[in-house]
Amino acid sequence: MPGDKVTARRILKMKGLRPIVAVTAYDYPTAWIADEAGVDVILVGDSLGMVVLGYPSTLQVTLDDMVRHTAAVARAAKRPLIVADMPFGSYEPSSSTAVESAVALARVGAEAVKLEGGSEYADRVKAIVDAGIPVMGHLGLTPQRAMRIGGYRPRARGREEARRLLLDAESLVEAGVFSIVLEFVSEEAAEIVTRRVPVPTICIGSGRRCDGQIIVFHDIVGLSRHTPPFAKKYVDARRIMVEAVTRYAEDVRNGRFPSEEHVVHAKEPLEDLG
Ligand code: KIV
């Protein structure tokens, strides 16, 4: 929905008013498209490791990667809130490391940061918030710790995991987050967390009863090699792009490109030069 600049404070106040629309973007053109489409939040997700850098997981993504991609997104997107992911290793060592990393992202245009984990990282969240940078939490399936938590499987389907999820959400709220991403948790558990916490829940693969939804840009436009079961593809951009590049290759090989309209002519006779 076009209009005024979206801030973290505004996202917080949207809870219960209307669904929050969030999408990832990793570069200038995708951020420009997301902004033009009227999303509320752009997340420069560390999913960029798999989606645009071709890594096997998010673990290879560095703070330098996040800084470069956040800067590109910030140059394009004007209205949505820009949230940058804190990559693996950029906040775990200490609260001061976490603040330094968040400051590096804020300097290039991040208006908030997101970090994965619950009560075990609540002190990092509080330190970043105290430094003046809004923080979005991330619970449920946390890909940076996928190996430790048992792989890419749905979370909080049983009582114990659902109870843990709620406790983690509460400790993040206490630490000062303005919203929480819930990734791949049962719809029932996501609904309980959404009801119990005062900040918006923004869900991916966690059902219909959250305060908002987030999705990976390349999944909705059909540019991902591996699309998760909970994503919805709205267009097959890969097919459209392959067709375009194939037609270009044919035109070059058949002498149809460039044609007169793509050519610039000399202003004065040049024949005598060669
Ligand atoms: O990196 C990412 O794209 C994310 C979303 C799945 C929320 O963290």
47 alpha carbon – ligand 1 mean position (Å): 6
Q: How far is it, in rounded angstroms, from Cα 36 to Cα 42?
A: 12
Alpha helices in 154-271 (DSSP H): 159-175, 187-196, 217-221, 237-253
Residues marked active site are found at 183
pLDDT of residue 31: 98
216 alpha carbon – ligand 1 mean position (Å): 7
pLDDT of residue 1: 47
Note the pLDDT tens digit of each residue in 6-28.
999 999 999 999 999 999 999 99
Indicate the top mutation candidate among 69, 182, 183 to test ligand 1's pocket, ranked by most ligand atoms within 8 A of CB: 183
Ligand 1 binding residues, C-beta < 6 A = 24, 43, 45-47, 85, 138, 181, 183, 204, 214, 216
Task: Quote the crossing angle between the two packed helices 63-76 and 95-107, to the nearest 10°.
Answer: 30
pLDDT of residue 226: 85
Provide the mean pLDDT of the chain: 96
Question: Over pLDDT 90: what percentage of the chain?
Answer: 95
Can you give the pTM of this predicted structure? Answer: 0.96
Is the model more confident about 78 or about 148? 78
15 alpha carbon – ligand 1 mean position (Å): 20
46 alpha carbon – ligand 1 mean position (Å): 6
Going by alpha carbons, the residue nearest to atom 4 of ligand 1 is: 45
146 has pLDDT over 90: no
Note the pLDDT tens digit of each residue in 174-223.
999 999 999 999 999 999 999 999 999 999 999 999 999 999 999 999 99
pLDDT of residue 213: 98
3 has pLDDT over 90: no
In which band, very low, low, confident or very high, does the pLDDT at 152 lie, cut at 50, 70 and 90?
confident
Indicate the top mutation candidate among 43, 44, 220 to test ligand 1's pocket, ranked by most ligand atoms within 8 A of CB: 43
Q: Quick one: which atom of ligand 1 is closest to the CA of 202?
A: 7
2 has pLDDT over 60: no
Q: What is the DSSP string of 121-176?
A: GHHHHHHHHHTT--EEEEEES-GGGTTTTTSS--B--SHHHHHHHHHHHHHHHHHT
